[in-house]
Amino acid sequence: MAHSFSIFRNSVVNFLFLIGFVTLQLPVKNAKPATFLQDFRITWSDSHIKQLDGGKGIQLLLDQNSGCGFASKSKYLFGRVSMKIKLIPGDSAGTVTAFYMNSDTDQVRDELDFEFLGNRTGQPYSVQTNVYAHGKGDREQRVNLWFDPAADFHTYSILWNHHHVVFSVDEVPIRVYKNNEAKGVPFPKMQPMGIYSTLWEADDWATRGGLEKINWSKAPFYAYYKDFDIEGCPAPGPSACASSPANWWEGIGYQQLDSVAARRYRWVRTNHMVYDYCTDKQRNPVTPPECMNGI
Ligand SMILES: *[C@@H]1O[C@H](CO)[C@@H](O)[C@H](O)[C@H]1NC(C)=O
Ligand SMILES: *[C@@H]1O[C@H](CO)[C@@H](O)[C@H](O)[C@H]1NC(C)=O
């Protein structure tokens, strides 16, 4: 415990030092607070999802009977999605809280995943990200969060434009998947994707290959969501939208990481990355081409 706390404290100090007094203020235009039911519907186990605060927030529940899930009513082609999530506190090992986008097309699936893998009390949550493009996935990365994601709400977002996909935690990029079509690497750009979230049991794989099992005597487990924000081109919708360079998420400031964001991203990769498919020689004896392009 003492050991992991000091690692945590050191990384906070390190982080504060790194960002100094520079604040990143990207203009967020058209931000609109959405109530849950405005943009989403329950897809799995109604009885395990409860609306809070007049629909501005929700509670997801996992017990031995069921997990639960929700999805956006529309699909979107490019844009940015964000929500605030407070994860299961205490002994959450074996639970997975997911937030992802998915084209829902079996053969040529596009998918962008955030998966929050629970852990034993006092051990860090891992955030696994993955990118499927044109049906090919197997691009897992894992980072350990530098704060306790169950103590408070934090913002998780996916920015998706013609240039890259950026997964961020509180405005800190933790994953960038660039458009490397010039190198023959597929990039999701043809299919609209819906936004999904689920809370479920995955102790057969999530805990270091299934080493740790869910402790059901701690159930029910709760995760909380609020501040849903979707900005993107709805599909079906105006067909010119997705290719319009006038969308703010396609703007010059969003086509690559600026210097502050790039520094934060390097900080995450240096200090918090615990797994990267790019460097897993057993799985990928030949480095995948998208991994060779720097960050
Ligand atoms: C849980 O904590 C252990 C020990 O700190 C760590 O090795 C592991 O990556 C963490 N995450 C999961 C999902 O087990
Ligand atoms: C499961 O939780 C119970 C109740 O808190 C505790 O007594 C038990 O030791 C836990 N089991 C494991 C494997 O952590």
- Ligand 1 binding pocket, CB closer than 6 Å: 117, 119, 123-124, 126, 206-208, 274
| Confidence tier at 1 by pLDDT (50, 70, 90) | very low
Q: Which of 123, 143, 272 to mutate to test the pocket of ligand 1 (most atoms within 8 A of CB)?
A: 123
How buried is 140 (Cβ within 10 angstroms: 0-12 exposed, 13-18 middle, 19+ buried)?
middle
pLDDT digits (tens, 9 = 90+) for 53-82: 999 999 999 999 999 999 999 999 999 999
Provide the pLDDT for residue 258.
96
Q: How confident is the model at residue 24 (pLDDT cuts 50, 70, 90)?
A: very low
Ligand 2 centroid vs 119 CA: distance in angstroms?
13
Q: Which ligand is nearest to the CA of 219?
A: 2
User: What is the distance in A from the centroid of ligand 1 to the CA of 27?
Assistant: 36
Which of 119, 125, 215 most suits a substitution to test ligand 1, by most atoms within 8 Å of the C-beta? 119
Active site annotation includes 171: no
Q: Which two tokens stand for residue 262?
A: 């790039």
Query: How is residue 118 written in tokens?
Result: 């629970």
Q: Considering only CA atoms, which residue is closest to atom 13 of ligand 2?
A: 215
pLDDT number for residue 3: 40
Residue 111 bears catalytic tag: yes
Residue from 212, 217, 221 whose mutation best tests the ligand 2 pocket (most atoms within 8 A of CB): 217
Predicted model pTM: 0.88
Q: Domain segments of the chain: what residues?
A: 2-292
Q: What is the pLDDT of residue 28?
A: 43
Distance from Cα 149 to the centre of ligand 2, integer Å? 22
> Could you write out the three-class secondary structure of 213-226?
CCCHHHCCEEEEEE
Region 246-258: mean pLDDT is: 97
Please give the CATH architecture assigned to the domain spanning 2-292.
Sandwich (2.60)
pLDDT value at position 172? 98
E strand or H helix at 17: helix 2-19
**Closest Cα to residue 247, out of 3, 80, 13, 58?**
80
Q: Is the CB of 120 under 6 A from ligand 2?
A: no
Q: Is 217 in the pocket of ligand 2 (CB under 6 A)?
A: yes
Average pLDDT of the segment spanning 107-125 = 94
pLDDT class of 19 with cuts at 50, 70, 90: very low
Evaluate if residue 206 carries a pLDDT over 60.
yes
All residues at 6 or more sequence positions from 255 whose CB lies less than 8 Å from its CB, including other chains:
161, 163, 164
Position 16 confidence tier, pLDDT thresholds 50, 70, 90: very low
Report pLDDT for 35. Answer: 83
Q: How far apart are CA 112 and CA 165, in angstroms?
A: 8
The torsion region of residue 210 among left (phi > 0), alpha (psi -120 to 50) and beta comes to: left
